[in-house]
Amino acid sequence: MKAAPFEYTRAGGVGDALDALRLGAVVLAGGQSLVPLLNARVRRPALVVDVSRLPLTTVERDGPALVLGALTRLRTAETSPVVARALPLLAEALTHVGHVSVRNRGTVGGSAAHADPAAEVPAVLLALDAVFTARSHRGTREVEARDFFRGPHRTALEPDELLTAVRVPLPAPTARHGMAELSRRPNDLAVTAVFTSVVLTDGVVTDARIAVAGAAPTPIRARAAEEVLTGRAPTPGVLAEAAEAAASATDPVDDLHAPAAYRRDMTAVLTRRALRRATTG
Ligand SMILES: Cc1cc2nc3c(=O)[nH]c(=O)nc-3n(C[C@H](O)[C@H](O)[C@H](O)COP(=O)(O)OP(=O)(O)OC[C@H]3O[C@@H](n4cnc5c(N)ncnc54)[C@H](O)[C@@H]3O)c2cc1C
């Protein structure tokens, strides 16, 4: 099937993109999710604005945060020594997103804006308390990750807003990460995946972040599980307790890929594995 006819314009600058968005255009970044939706005629925009050549591609330290331009390619972030040092959880998670050819074109902002509940990047950004910068002709605003993901493929972005950057606070230097993902084939979208970042001080957890993908209409933070861990030594019993709390926070549905109960059970299994990776070795 071919896409329904649409007008195409390539933005030469952010202003052009915002002009087109004001006219009702849909943003095309790397096209790795949008183009299949156009071809299946799930989306039939009258106007598409290609932003892929805008220079929103810098990855730089800004005080206690790393700022990634929304058009940073997934592969660029994955292979960036700066990202590897500052946000190793993101760097590892990116290796699970599709294949290299997908990551060569797909963008960090595109993955966030597409907001697939099973996607890796949105869940990691939620775990790390990222802040999204959105621009429109009405101005610039920032949206915290916990308010950004609103439902399957729904975000807080208004139709006339362009996501321009993602600001990720740097985890403590002593933070260690662990992730665990179940997918049907390597590099498929996750059935369920868990992303954790943990700080241990004198053998006791002093900070814990746990985000789950593929187990609710949006990526979720397992806050009750984080509380179970905080102030305690990460013994197998405590990890098991946290894993059960994470599973209880899920709200999965039955679908083609897995029944809801399986996703809930896998959340517990994957949480335990991810936490073990973050707290041992
Ligand atoms: C074979 C294959 C395998 C894949 N496997 C995975 C996987 O394992 N895990 C995973 O998470 N994803 C996977 N994907 C999906 C894909 O990698 C991401 O969703 C994709 O990279 C999104 O980024 P993009 O730049 O290509 O966005 P696009 O496809 O260009 O856009 C996606 C959506 O976001 C909007 N958008 C994009 N950029 C902006 C912006 N700056 N401001 C506002 N709105 C914007 C678009 O309008 C559109 O609605 C796979 C895709 C393919 C084709």
Of 4-18, 181-195, 239-253, where does mean pLDDT reach its minimum?
A: 181-195
Q: Confidence band (pLDDT; 50, 70, 90) for 256?
A: confident
Candidates 15, 33, 32, 12; CA nearest to 162 is 15
Write the CB contacts of 30 (distance below 8 Å, at least 6 apart in sequence).
52, 73, 74, 105, 106, 107, 110
Q: Confidence band (pLDDT; 50, 70, 90) for 186?
A: confident
Q: How far is the centre of ligand 1, averaged over its atoms, from the C-alpha of 244 (Å)?
A: 31
- Average confidence (pLDDT) over 255-272: 95
pLDDT of 281 higher than 80: no
Q: Is the CB of 252 under 6 A from ligand 1?
A: no
Q: Is the CB of 98 under 6 A from ligand 1?
A: yes
Q: What is the pLDDT of residues 81-104, one digit of tens each?
A: 999 999 999 999 999 999 999 999
Using CA atoms, how far residue 153 sits from 37, 114, 158, in Å, is 12, 5, 13
Q: What are phi and psi for residue 256, nearest 5 degrees?
A: -55, -35
Tokens linked to 40 = 């299946």
Q: Is the CB of 165 under 6 A from ligand 1?
A: no
- Average confidence (pLDDT) over 158-182: 98
- The stretches of 60-107 forming alpha helices (DSSP H) are 74-79, 81-86, 88-94, 100-105
CATH code for residues 176-279 = 3.30.390.50
Q: Is the CB of 75 under 6 A from ligand 1?
A: no
Q: Confidence band (pLDDT; 50, 70, 90) for 129?
A: very high
Q: How far is the centre of ligand 1, averaged over its atoms, from the C-alpha of 79 (Å)?
A: 18
Instruction: Determine whether 5 is exposed, middle or buried from the number of CB atoms within 10 Å of its CB (0-12, 13-18, 19+).
Output: exposed
CA torsion through residues 255, 260, 262, 263, sign: positive
Q: Confidence band (pLDDT; 50, 70, 90) for 234?
A: very high
- Check residue 122 and give its pLDDT: 98
Q: How far is the centre of ligand 1, averaged over its atoms, from the C-alpha of 157 (Å)?
A: 15
According to CATH, the topology of domain 59-169 is 3.30.465
Q: From the CB of residue 31, how many other CB atoms can be counted at a distance below 10 Å?
A: 17
**CA–CA dist 189, 176 (Å, integer):** 24
- Average confidence (pLDDT) over 46-54: 98
Half-sphere exposure of 62 (CA within 13 A, CB side): 13
Q: Is the CB of 102 under 6 A from ligand 1?
A: yes
- Check residue 215 and give its pLDDT: 97
Asked whether the beta carbons of 267 and 246 are under 8 A apart, the reply is yes
